Amino acid sequence: MASHSHNPGPLPARPGPFGARRTWLLAIALAALWAAHGLGVTLSGLVPSGSGLNILGEFLGASLSPAWDYEVVVPEGTVALPWKVLDALRRTLIFAASGLSLALLLGFPLGIVASTAWWKNHKGARGERFHLLKRWLNPTLFVGIRTGIALLRSIHEVLWAVLLLAALGLNSFSAVCAIALPFAGTFAKVFSDILDEAPRDSADVLRASGATEAQAFLFGLLPRALPDMAAYAFYRFECAVRSSAVLGFFGYPTLGYFIKLAFDNKRYHEVWSYLWSLIVLVFVLEAISGALRRRVVVR
Amino acid sequence: MSARGVNGASVSANSTSAARVQDLWRARPRSKLLRATCWSLGLWTLYAWFSPEIGLMDFLDGRRFSNLGRFVETELVPFPLRGEPLSLAALSTWVADIWNRIGMQSTLATLQISIIAIVIAGAAALPLSMFAARNLAASTPFENPSGREATWRRLFWTAISSSARALAILLRAVPEFILAFLLLAVLGPRNAWPAILALAMHNCGILARLGSEVVENLEPAPLRAMAAVGAPRRSLVVFGVLPLALGRNLLYFFYRFETCVREATVLGMLGVLSLGYWIQDARAKQYYDEVFLLVLFSVGVVLVADLVSVLARRSIRR
């Protein structure tokens, strides 16, 4: 540090007028103009009609007074609203947890075989069997796996739900798979990126002291990547909760189902009971995953 | 990391290597929060699989797979090919017909909706992230020594940064789909604004949070120096924070753009003229071959957005 104060050296060259950032900012502005023109949106579309304004007023007016009891007469023996809201939350969390666990089960191995670190051959490493396995699973398969992962994650969970609903019917299987398939694709992609960016030092040391490649991968590389992977998985749980809530719009008994039902029947206070419970849930999950990230991920 | 690191005092100077390994194992960093979260999530997952809603036994019913087979073999087969031998000519006329009739226009609309949405989100998130950053929106920004520290000023700035954070949480906690559903009732159908606004609000919440973390993680020395020689907050933002934070913010912008395109497809199902509109239309008619083709179009547009996003991020990071 001290040497710097004596000899600061030449300053880094100033980027030209068309550096990467400026070029991309310009591209964004042009794309926005093209999009606004092509879509034909005007600011007048933002002004609600008379009935829309009424709905907006009533709906926002209800935001600070969520319902604690039903707004309409319900048949004898219906459970109290707070319990119904909690039950909707429970179901939302059930689909989120089972979908996410299945996604981890599929995405973790996929992520490992999709990482370049897994396919790289190291000079001087032992472990013939592992080499054979890799030669057998040749690079064409690597491209195939990557394509499959891209397909899995570029289809939105709702579109998966639409396809699976038609194929399997309205049941837990289609709901869980609708969450698990795209999330598995995302896990695979992010996990393979994390593995490729993880520090290689421990794996190199193990390899230099005679470990096989499988050992170097399992005990050298994987442990360096696991904290990041775990933090990401926790973050994705929050996303799974949101997706699970949205699947309710397609008939599954999660939050979205009750939100749609209450809104269509203009029971806005009840809508807010469900919305606030979702907001609080997301807030709590986010606080936990933020705290975990700060503890687990060493930077 | 916990205070008890690997090199902490609890590691005794034991001579045998086995005992040394054991000492290291005992002194490994541990987090109670991590354990508690793992346990509760694990138990909840176990409960979920065995709950009556999922019913593990019912889950793997053989009937399901025969249904799946029937769906793939009959309903997913493109209409002109049903009961006919595979002919590429018939297939390509079918694809071209759907592409020309609805595909091209709605794929473009999907892209346009997401571009407008992410630009609005980014533009709104930038100022919001400044107010949400705890080190900038403080009574003495970047803890510069010349700042005036009065209790009411501190409370004032804490209130500002907390409410900016609360606003960002409110915006991102509600999924785009639900936001669009609510906005559609207000703004009316066949109008792209409900989808644009829903995407913009949700992503604004996310970008504001990420942006405020960028500001909080900035190297404070140059900003502290600016503040110490008397730069007011607005010059700090314009000449210090913005140039330093722009790169990372652009990375996040393009990362969210990709998810925006994915989401814009689906929002059409509520009645906005993106790909989802025609997916819902074909679904109502039970034309599942058409649904599948439109889903493939959506894959195409998502992959294009993905490519743009990767290229942009690579060139910005360099």
What does the pLDDT look like over B174-232, one tens digit per residue? 999 999 999 998 888 778 899 999 999 999 999 999 999 999 888 888 888 888 888 88
Task: Determine contact, residues B211/B164, Cβ cutoff 8 Å.
Answer: no
Q: Which helix (H) or strand (E) holds A92?
A: helix A81-114
Nearest-angstrom CA–CA distance, A179 and A186: 11
pLDDT at A125: 53
Tell me which residue in A39, A168, A275 faces B113 most closely, judged by beta carbons.
A39
Which one of B77, B162, B178, B216 makes the best mutation probe of the A interface by having the most chain A beta carbons within 10 Å? B178
- pLDDT value, residue A136: 63
DSSP reduced 3-state for A298: coil
Predicted local confidence at residue B263, as pLDDT? 94
Give me the amino acid identity at A228: D
Angle at B280 between CA A267 and CA B178, to 5 degrees: 35
B59 touches chain A (CB under 8 A): yes
Burial of A152 (0-12, 13-18, 19+ CB in 10 A): buried
Domains of chain B by residue range:
1-32, 102-317
Q: Identify all chain A residues contacting B295, using CB atoms and an 8 Å cutoff.
A: 155, 159, 162-163
CA distances from B232 to A84, A237, B160 (A): 53, 42, 17
CATH topology assigned to domain B102-317:
MetI-like fold (1.10.3720)
User: What is the pLDDT confidence band of residue A196, given thresholds at 50, 70 and 90?
Assistant: confident
Measure in Å the smallest separation between the Cα of B216 and chain A Cα atoms: 14
DSSP state of B11: S
What number is the average pLDDT over the span B159-179?
A: 93
Between chains, do B283 and A162 touch, taking CB under 8 Å as contact?
Answer: yes
Query: What is the residue whose two structure tokens read 């994915």?
Result: B262
B196, B116 contact by CB (below 8 A): yes
CB pairs under 8 A between A and B: 199
Question: Are A158 and B187 inside 8 Å of each other by CB?
Answer: no
The neighbour count for residue B8, using CB atoms within 10 Å, is 12
Pick the residue from chain A with its C-alpha nearest to B181: A260
Instruction: Return the percentage of chain B with pLDDT > 70, whole number.
Output: 92
In chain A, domain spans:
81-296
Look at B116 and A35 and tell me if their CB atoms are within 8 Å.
yes
User: In angstroms, rounded to a whole number, what is the distance separating the alpha carbons of residues A167 and A98?
Assistant: 20
3 state DSSP class of A79: coil
Q: Is B49 on the interface with A (CB under 8 A)?
A: yes
Report the C-alpha gap between A131 and B145 in whole angstroms: 60
In angstroms, what CA-CA distances link B275 with A207, A235, B83, B102, B264? 51, 29, 29, 8, 8
- The residue with greater pLDDT, B162 or A78, is B162
Q: What pLDDT was estimated at residue A133? A: 61
Q: Judge whether residue B8 has pLDDT over 50.
A: no
Pick the closest to residue B310 from A123, A165, A65, A24 (CA basis): A24
Which of B34, B112, B303 is closest, CB to CB, to A39? B112
Residue A66 to residue A270: CA distance in whole angstroms: 6
Question: Could you tell me the CA-to-CA distances from A191 to A289, A293, B19, B171, B220 in Å, in that order?
Answer: 17, 16, 35, 28, 32
Q: How high is the pLDDT of residue B7?
A: 47
Whether residue B6 has pLDDT greater than 60: no
* Phi/psi at A71 (5° precision): -85, -15
Asked whether the CA dihedral A179, A108, B68, B58 is positive or negative, the reply is negative
Contact call for B116 and A237, based on CB within 8 A: no
Instruction: Estimate to the nearest angstrom the gap between the alpha carbon of A282 and the chain centroid.
Output: 13
Q: What is the pLDDT of residue A15?
A: 63
Q: How many CB atoms lie within 10 A of CB B142?
A: 22
pLDDT of residue A19: 79
Which value does ipTM take for this structure? 0.85
pLDDT at B47 over 60: yes
SS3 A212: strand
Q: Give the residue carrying structure tokens 């294009």.
A: B304
Q: How far apart are CA A128 and CA A132, in angstroms?
A: 6
Is residue B116 within 8 Å of residue B274, measured between CB atoms?
no
Q: Longest Cα pair distance anywhere in chain B, in angstroms?
A: 82
Average pLDDT in chain B = 86
What residue in B sits closest to A186 (Cα-Cα)?
A: B259
Q: Which residue has the higher pLDDT, A241 or B90?
A: A241
Pick the residue with more confidence: A164 or B54? A164
Mutate to test the interface with B, among A56, A60, A157, A158 (most CBs of B within 10 A): A158
Using the Cβ of B251 and the Cβ atoms of chain A, whether some distance falls under 8 Å is answered with no
Mean pLDDT (whole number) for B143-151: 65
According to DSSP, the residues that pair with A212 across neighbouring strands are: A126
Angstrom distance (rounded) from CA B197 to CA A52: 15
Angle of helix A222-247 relative to helix A255-264, nearest 10 degrees? 30
Residue B213 CB burial class (10 angstroms; 0-12, 13-18, ≥19): middle
Query: What does the radius of gyration of chain A's CA atoms come to, in whole angstroms?
Result: 26
Q: Compute the residue count for chain A.
A: 299
- Kindly state the average pLDDT of the residues B131-158: 79
Tokens representing residue A12 in the block = 């880094």
Of A38, A101, A292, the CB nearest to B37: A292
- B30, B54, B110, best to mutate vs chain A, most A CBs in 10 Å: B54
Question: Is pLDDT at A280 greater than 50 in this prediction?
Answer: yes
SS (H, E, C) A159-181: HHHHHHHHHHCCCHHHHHHHHHH
Tell me which of A12 and B11 has the higher pLDDT.
A12
* pLDDT score recorded for residue A122: 60
Minimum distance, in Å, between the CA of residue B90 and any CA atom of chain A: 24
More confident residue, A64 or B61: A64
Is the CB of A156 less than 8 angstroms away from the CB of B193? no
Instruction: Name chain A contacts of B312, Cβ cutoff 8 Å.
Output: 24
Q: Do B178 and A246 touch (CB under 8 A)?
A: yes
Q: Do B112 and A176 touch (CB under 8 A)?
A: no
Out of A23-27, B8-12, B285-289, pick the least confident.
Answer: B8-12
**Is a pLDDT exceeding 70 seen at residue B84?**
yes
Mean predicted confidence (pLDDT) in A50-62: 83
- Of all residues in chain A, the one with the smallest CA distance to B186 is A52
- Check residue B190 and give left, alpha or beta (phi > 0: left; psi -120 to 50: alpha): left
Please report, in angstroms and rounded to a whole number, the separation of the first and last CA atoms in chain B. 31
Q: Is B134 on the interface with A (CB under 8 A)?
A: no
Of B246, B263, B286, the CB nearest to A21: B246
CATH class of A81-296: mainly alpha
Contacts of B316 in chain A (CB under 8 A): 20-21, 24
Tell me, what's the pLDDT at A7? 65
Calpha distance A107→A180 (Å, rounded): 9
Q: What is the pLDDT of residues A106-161, one digit of tens each?
A: 999 999 888 877 776 665 555 555 565 666 666 678 788 888 999 999 999 999 99
Mean pLDDT of chain A, nearest integer = 84
Residue B163 has pLDDT above 90, yes or no: yes
Residue B215 CB-half CA count within 13 A: 28
- H-helix segments, chain B: 17-26, 32-50, 56-59, 62-70, 88-98, 104-132, 151-173, 176-187, 193-216, 220-228, 233-235, 242-267, 275-284, 288-317
Single out the residue of A245, A196, A203 nearest to residue A95, CA to CA. A245
Phi, psi values for residue A272, rounded to 5°:
-70, -30
Inspect the interface and report whether the beta carbons of A150 and B303 lie closer than 8 Å.
Answer: yes
Question: Of B187, B135, B140, B183, which is closest to residue B161 (Cα–Cα)?
Answer: B135
User: Given an 8 Å threshold on Cβ–Cβ distance, is A172 in contact with B54?
Assistant: yes
Closest CA to A87 of A258, A279, A243, A242: A258
Contact of A120 with A139, CB cutoff 8 Å: no
Q: pTM for the whole thing?
A: 0.86
pLDDT at A254 over 90: yes
The answer, for B174 touching chain A at a CB cutoff of 8 Å, is yes
Q: For residue B37, which amino acid is it? A: T
pLDDT band with cut points at 50, 70 and 90 for residue B1? very low
Q: What pLDDT, on a 0 to 100 scale, did the predictor assign at position A86?
A: 93
pLDDT at position B232, please?
A: 87
Q: Which of B302, B153, B290 is nearest to B233 (CA)?
A: B153
**CB contact (8 A) between residue A286 and residue B303:** no
User: Which is more confident, B11 or B42?
Assistant: B42
